[in-house]
Structure 1
Amino acid sequence: MKFVDKIVKYDKRRLFYTFEFFPPKTDQGFENLVARIGRMVGLNPLAISVTWGAGGSTKERSLDLAGLTQLEYGVDTILHLTCTNMVQGSVDTALREAKERGIENILALRGDPPRGKEHWEPTDPRFQHGADLVRYIKATPEFAHFCVGVAAYPDGHPDRDTDEDGELQFLKEKVDAGADFIVTQLFYDVDNFLRWYGRVRAKGITVPIIPGIMPIQTYASFLRMTKLCATRVPPSLMHDLMPIRHDDQKVKDYGVKLAVDMIRQMQRGGIEGVHFCTLNLERSVTRVLESLGLAGNIPTLVNRLIADIPAPPERTITPHSAADQATKELIYAPKPEPDAGKGEINSAVDWDDFPNGRFGDFKSPAYGDTDRWGSSVLQSNVAPSQWGNPRTLEDLTAMFLRYLHSKIPTTPFSPTPLSPESLLIFPHLERLTRRGWWTVGSQPAVNGVPSTDDVVGWGPKGGYVYQKCFVEFFVEHEDVERVAKKVREEGNGWINYFAANAKGDFLTNVPEGGRNAVTWGVFPGQEIAQTTIIEKESFLSWKDEAFSIWSEWSTYYPPGSQERTLLEGVRDRRWLMTLVHHDYMDSSALWNFVFKDPNPLV
């Protein structure tokens, strides 16, 4: 059914709501998300939306997921569709496949700007803006039946330097092109949203407007998402968060209460429905709806549905940028026993209650791109200028060193500044990088530090956290062989490694199915929580993304240029490698292995 028709028929005395999901990168994550959506259908959303990855990177998974929710669960599904990389015919193909799956609703987005701007790879010139996509769908008889929504940005567009009047004009153009409804980017300033909402209506825009709500999951993910989306953060919100920012459960509880308060304020302002950005998590959304009196006896319903569920994810490695602390999205849901799902502690509702971030466990429904609407560090207009014009390997080494010394805030592989945690092992990271082993992920060893520690702490108060040291870097093949040989001859069973290249070659000394828990915590009243896992599936998934970043970065430079030749050569020749040392009681163990005689690697 068309989404706008459902809105018209919906009981105006009751708030309607929709859920947004993204397709995980792995098969296991996808299967577990389908099970999760099956539970969340019991919350009676008016519709479900499925995102379209950057440049269509998750096209097949997006279509498959949307088809499952539409056909198997009988929930009207809104499929996101972007202009990016949509060459002639690809839009038609996507719409036809959506139609075959019974999907009647599309969210038409401009998506990321073409890579490299001046030197971007050519795409269909008909699809340069969201309005172009709306206009095409509505003007094509084969697709005109689709109900089409568009995006709006109450706090301003994150990568467009346009004032509010200009943004309202862009929005008006999309509606004039035939848009049937509007979904907004997430926000936290309700007063500003209601003011903006009034201006939209004064502009003559009458289609339904559904505000995007993202319950705060952790302080780190909140900072990351608000920066990514250029979200306005009220001072009162930061005032409330600062004292509790190191207690993940308190932050999550606050996020639920804040979402409830925001929705109630918007209802008083005339808003009839909201769009939940779930990040593929279910617990907070359920609690929000329960608090609003909309969920009914959901805990009973959920417990009936989760008699047989897969083992939960823990956590995997984070980049050594702010992601160390910032992307360390601090999942401390208890690790279930084999009969997971038969008790409240092991409930599937919250077995990955906190977002995994980019390196989440491959089994998690939340494993994949949590960025809204397919953005990344490479979409920033200023990012390439920060990284210069690398023409030699020495230029790349210099760029990674500038990042370590905080002279630039990002690299293509680390979207946020270097974290305080990485500073604990800064001399070692610097030494590796000077050697030409470009570090992109790391973690110091930690032995029983209070969970409230400002640098490495996570989880609720009253606990202790532990970490094994690891480091991840790009190296030449001969260096991979040297490392593997030394691990084999001198590692004495203390060191594991994973290594892979863009062609798909893979090396490891981890037994098949082996999983390295490298971060865990002990908290009152909980099982031991293992929140960082390094294993084959998620490493290979990240490997694919990492080498695609080299390709993406290269497209910022003209074909045949020194810069593009260099970056493509690095992509084709280098390996991504991760080293883990299991002696967490010795903070120097990994570094002694790498740097010390009798056979130093560097």
Structure 2
Amino acid sequence: MKVTEKLTQAHEDGKAPATFSFEFFTPKTSQGVQNLYDRMDRMYDLNPLFIDITWNAGGRLGTLTTEMVNVTTTVLGLETCMHLTCTNMKLETIDKALDSAFQCGCQNILALRGDPPLDGSESTGVFRYAKDLIRHIKSRYGNHFCIGVAGYPEGHPEESDLDKTIEYLKQKQDAGGDFIVTQMFYDVDLFISWCKKCRAAGITIPIIPGIMPISTYAAFFRRAQWCKIHLPDHFFERLEPIKEDDSKVRDEGVKLVAEMCAKLLQSGCVNHLHFYTMNLEKSTIMVLRELNLVSKQQLVGMDTRPWRRSLNPTRSEESVRPIFWSNRKFSYIQRTSNWDEFPNGRWGDSRSPAFGSLELCDHELIRHTPKKALSLWGLPTNIQTLADLTVRYLNGDLNCLPWSDSKVTHEIDLIKDDLIDLNRRGVLTVNSQASINCCPSSDKVHGWGPNDGYVYQKQYLEFLIPSNRLDDLVDEIGTINKESGYNILTFYSIGQEGEFTSNARSSSTINAVTWGCFPGKEVVQSTIVEKISFMAWKDEFFSILKKWISLFRKDTDPGREDAISFIESLVNDATLVNIVDNDYVGEPNTRIFNVLRKLFPIAE
């Protein structure tokens, strides 16, 4: 959705007192990019109206911005605005960037001139000014893109006459600019005065103030000097005495910036705040909390699925997902991008020749460096040490596991103790969900979709066990199903190279494990268990284990060889199993655990 449309929806009839957005810059390393994706996804839970990504500022590749916009829009489902500069830029590069944004579903561009050549020479780019770039975008894409432009409340380093900068800003609006994002500032009175001058000059598009949180005194002073902005006396009075204590500076800086933002909002000149995060989150979040915006702000156009919807137009109607990738949204979207793009709203077409292929780059299997992986997960040398690692994850002491990108949520609270118990018994749990019968869709933990419905879940458990114990498990499931009179428990199992085993009625059986009922709508079937996607997930899971082995470095502890031997034994001798309890009413959240407790007693 366009930024201007989101602003209008958010503020119509005084619906929201204030909204906000975040800017991120492109990191210099691959690992930095992966870590930033995690931060972006986490900060998006605060419900910003949008995020924007700078144009290759410090990036390692000329295409890094477009790659990141593609990921944030398509994989993470974040409303994204792409910066695009034109100074020293070839027309081919500009058009490739615009086409990439168009194809992935991005609808917002911040059109900038960019910094001139350092040697003082003229730009070699095809466009000299931002207004020329705006006209080009309009000529190629019409009104598809919502175009943002830069504003300078205290003048531009190359133009000291404030009236002239406002005149230039008006020209960018007349060329097709739809909204303004300003340079950072700390003098609210100067900003308010500038806004009034802009309106008097005929500038009518939304003005969004750029807010720079204060993290350290040195950074605060350096950025102000670099941008040549005025610092009010009371900022110095409150920060100078504590400038050697970064913690105190940040706390006081939060108060100062929050006071500044509150005055801005009270002035009536603006109703939206754009935070320059510098790829950090703490200071920005502290300011939002101080302003009471974090708890009150709600994302406009809230999704109706228990996952964030991809903004890629070819996947926007995706309505069903296999549960196997619930904790690995990055690899799920990327590896399924060629599964015939989810025709007819289905989760994929098994007839496609691309279906199920494993073509993931190495960093997408485990998005951590060897050093980081070692600090997170150590060197597990037996099933108990790996189970202990999983228990730490379940308790919230670890944010991720090799096979899980996401931090554990309160959704597991209903079965958390049982999951921990299974791991203590040597059953390594990989993925799970509790059974839910007719939970209000407004529930803060298990709810999803519109607030006037009810959601349901079957208990699901995915785990790893020694292959030589599979027959015992199958026999026990068979006994329970015979007593029940039908397949109350259905399962899939397979090892790395083993034979697929299941008691499902046919290979094409699709079992819904999450669904919702809402007034005036068909039943929404959101997550499923299904053979072909399970086989694809099996390939990925065992590839993750192999990738983990490759991260064990020779210069680590002597336990490296033992850890390699142990993980290799999992790859070669373990079986991946999932079980669905189809009775989500009669015996919720106990039947599957009781089966496994019987087969895997705690060692004396």
TM-score (norm: length of structure 2)? 0.49
Q: More relative contact order in 1 or in 2 (CA 8 Å, sep 6+)?
A: 1
TM-score (norm: length of structure 1)? 0.49
Which one has a bigger Cα radius of gyration? Answer: 2
